[in-house]
Copies of this chain bind each other. A is one copy, B any other.
Amino acid sequence: MNTITRDIDLSLVEHLALFRGLEPAELQTVLSAARRYPIPIGEAIFHQDDEATTLFVLVGGRLKVTQVTADGQQVVVRFIGPKDMFGCVAVMGTSRYPGTATAIEDSLAIGWDSGTMSGLIERHPAIAMNALGTVGHRLQETQTRLRELATQKVERRIAHIVLRLARQSGKRVAKGVQIEFAISRQDIAELAGTTLHTASRVLASWEQQGLIEPGRRKIVIRKPHDLVAIAEELPS
């Protein structure tokens, strides 16, 4: 069954971090106020600088959030997987989306416009607290990346990124741990703040050492431990 066409799994939704602590009755209200947003692969659910009117939660599929600078440089902000909240700036009053969210698989999101959201929060303040927790967490993660970018060499940064992706969306396979969505060298480069070429070289050298098994838009980590050693700059 396709992600786009399948129905929202209510039991999944009621375990979302955003709504933790709500009574079943309250949950029902919240859910019935949601709208469904199918996003076919390659399409964007919103673009950078669009008016931020809606808060979303991804139900299925995968999105990539990117930012482009005035001079055309692109960076990958993050990947969004099922149960992740996004567009949270919308709940803090009128603002604009800071990036573009594009589906890299057929996806399904549910969303609430800011008016609905305000009403929900007024009745259920716990939602605001939960949102605060999520945004705070994201802030810390962004600061971690900032620190890595400021102090570490490319190879360590890429190691951190690959490990982080594996932690967030790693799937155990015969040969090790595989990132469970298609990710290009370009994406990795933009996450690490480097060029496609350098990222490719680094992965190639890891392959030679038997650390990973890279493929077209695919990475399998064979020796996670050794990758951690690189990330933490320990002697191998």
Q: Are A75 and B147 in contact (CB under 8 A)?
A: yes
CB <8 Å contact, A129 and B121: yes
A7 at the interface (CB under 8 A from B): no
Q: Across the interface, do A98 and B140 meet the contact criterion of CB distance under 8 Å?
A: yes
Query: Which of B69, B88, B125, B132 is A151 in contact with, Cβ under 8 Å?
Result: B69
The verdict on A92 contacting chain B, using a C-beta distance below 8 Å, is yes
Q: A92-B133, A132-B91, A136-B88 are in contact. Are A143 and B67 (CB under 8 A)?
A: yes
Question: Are A150 and B75 closer than 8 Å at their CB atoms?
Answer: yes
CA of A147 to CA of B73, assembled, Å: 9
Task: Give the interface size bracket for A toward B.
Answer: 35 or more
* Contact status of A89 and B142, CB under 8 A, knowing A128-B129, A147-B67, A151-B73: no
Q: Is A210 an interface residue (CB 8 A)?
A: no
Query: Within 8 Å CB of A146, what residues of B?
Result: 75, 142, 145-146, 149, 193
Known: A122-B125, A135-B135, A139-B139. 11 other contacts (CB 8 A): A67-B143, A69-B151, A77-B143, A88-B136, A89-B140, A92-B132, A121-B128, A128-B129, A132-B132, A149-B150, A150-B190
Show 14 residue pairs from A and B whose CB-CB distance is below 8 angstroms, ordered by the A residue.
A71-B233, A75-B147, A88-B132, A95-B136, A98-B140, A98-B143, A121-B125, A125-B125, A139-B139, A145-B146, A149-B193, A150-B190, A150-B192, A151-B193
For the complex of A and B, 10 pairs with smallest distance between CB atoms: A150-B193, A128-B128, A125-B125, A92-B133, A73-B151, A142-B142, A149-B149, A92-B136, A139-B139, A146-B146
